[in-house]
A and B are shown apart, each in its own frame.
Chain A
Amino acid sequence: MSVPVRQTRPVAPLAGAPARSVPGSVRPLPAPAPIAGPFAQLVAAFRKDVLLSWRSRAQAMAVVVFGATALLLLSFAVGPDAASLRRFAGGFLWVALLFSSTLALSESFRAESEAKALEGLLLLPASPVSLFYGKALANWLQLLLVGIGLLPILIVLYDPDLTRLPALAGILALGSAALSAPGTLYAGMASQVRAQQVLLPLLLFPLVVPVLLAAVKASSLLLLGDPMGQAGAWALLLAAFNGIYWPLCGLLFSKVIEE
């Protein structure tokens, strides 16, 4: 995958951008760009990953469709009883999102591992920490969009209470962030080994049990009614998980890709 090089100012090419030179003609090398700060590196990595997802949006769309299919199948597990469907809606939303997340996460490293671009990224004067956060933020955005994409299907199939939808979007944001940080770390490992389709869920699913518990509880409370105001406590648990795993995974990611 190539990444467009902005024409307005000289920028070092990212991710092994092919030189658009005619064979035979010798072009002088561009002057080395000044090394950007960690935040600018993060933004560049984030931009690259979002752009890659946008270019292959058919794949991203397929992830949403996969999640929707999972929602449909899960409703068959319960049967056509409207009351129990409504009761399980929160749980099914998160199981569908969790299954879709493994597709989205392994996809996020596929381009790099196919084009052997990870080595190229590591040669850049950029810190792996910025690369990690760029990618994790892009994955978060993508998972959040998948979750939001699943909402209309959830509403149609399970007919939940819609009065607290904005709060549910907040839970979706917290929960998909909690999936994205360890998910990006493990996808980075899994992308480099055989049997990656098995390995990523095997490592990620047990780890995110607390995320699933808290997100399901909070979503069910928001969809069914929350007389005791408990959803906030579960949101706090999600926030705590994020608070622990975003720094930890960023710290450890350099160990995973530096060789």
Chain B
Amino acid sequence: MAFEAIPKPSPRAPLVAGAFLAVAAALLAVGSYIGLFVAPPEHFMGEVQRIMYVHVPTAWNAMLALTFAFVCAIVVLFKQDWKWDARLEAWLEIGVLLSFLLCVQGSIWAKPTWGVWWDWDPRLTTTAVLCFAFVGILALRRFVEDPVKRATWSAVATIVAYVDVPIVYFSVKWWNSLHQTQSTPQTVASSMITPLRINAFGILFLIVGLSILRSQLARRKIAAELAPPLPEQDRLAPTGGVA
């Protein structure tokens, strides 16, 4: 049963994804409006702090996306199903995208606040290391031509890289630290919680919608790769005119 049934794209998927994306757009619009215009500026950092309403939700969702990728990787190894390989690919890409955005936002916030673009803080460094580790896995997926090997190996590499996350975090933490205390609803004023939460769910809906679309695309690609070769005359047809 290992990787046998060729996946079929689901006809309902675009509708479901569209619904998720619409909810995401609405939530992000409301959350960003409150974050930019309603919530008070922070006492020490002033208006700069408003990037928190994107930065912190991005951080939560980046970890969530990579955790989803890890879960997909385990299911790929146990169930050997193309559907889960497609989901793994989707969540890997989303995880890499979010962790890259996280580093960029972190730098934008760090420059006016700490005076430097980059700081060797555990969370920032861990995110950068994660970004590179998972970019490597995406590269692995491009280099391996055999679809079964590609699915198995990227699942193995995802598990190996995900297990590294806490080790990287604690090693960098012992090595050097400066980051401000993690922002959670408990550490910020109540007027700041609302936009933080709304944006967090907005990004969550956004990435779930994107992951549905991306995994449908991955399913189509796998189906095209596994499709039996075209009949002989069809394959020869384009070259027929060449003398």
Contact = CB atoms under 8 A, between A and B. Distances in A.
Contact of B153 (A182, A189, A207): A189
Contacts of A207: 133, 160-161, 164
- Interface footprint category on A: 20 to 34
Given A207-B133, A210-B168, A213-B175, A256 B153 contact: yes
Query: Which of B132, B159, B171 gathers the greatest number of chain A CB atoms within 10 Å?
Result: B171
Given A248-B163, A249-B160, A256-B152, A203 B137 contact: yes
Nearest to B148: A259
Interface in A232-257: 233, 237, 240-241, 244-245, 248-249, 252, 255-256
Nearest to B134: A206
A241 B170 CA distance: 12
Contacts, number: 86
Nearest to A244: B163
B140 interface: yes
Contacts of B132: 205-206
B77 A255 contact: yes
Interface string A183-214: 00110010011110011001101110110011
Contacts of A241: 167
B153 A210 contact: no
A245 B168 CA distance: 13
B140 A189 contact: yes
Given A207-B164, A252-B160, A199 B140 contact: yes
B79 interface: no
Contacts of A193: 140, 143-145
B172 interface: yes
Contact of A182 (B140, B149, B152, B160): B160
A88 to B, nearest CB: 16
A15 to B, nearest CB: 22
B164 A203 contact: no
A56 B168 CA distance: 36
A248 B160 contact: yes
A87 interface: no
A217 interface: yes
A203 B167 contact: no
Contact of B171 (A186, A189, A213): A213
B136 interface: yes
Contacts of A248: 159-160, 163
Contact of B156 (A213, A217, A252): A252
A252 B155 CA distance: 10
B168 A209 contact: yes
B157 interface: yes
Contacts of B63: none
Nearest to B77: A255
B116 interface: no
B133 A185 contact: no
Nearest to A249: B160
The 8 closest A-B pairs by CB, nearest first: A206-B133, A210-B171, A206-B132, A202-B136, A203-B136, A210-B167, A193-B143, A252-B156
Given A189-B157, A207-B161, 12 more contacts: A189-B140, A195-B143, A209-B129, A209-B172, A210-B171, A213-B171, A233-B174, A248-B159, A252-B160, A256-B152, A256-B153, A256-B156
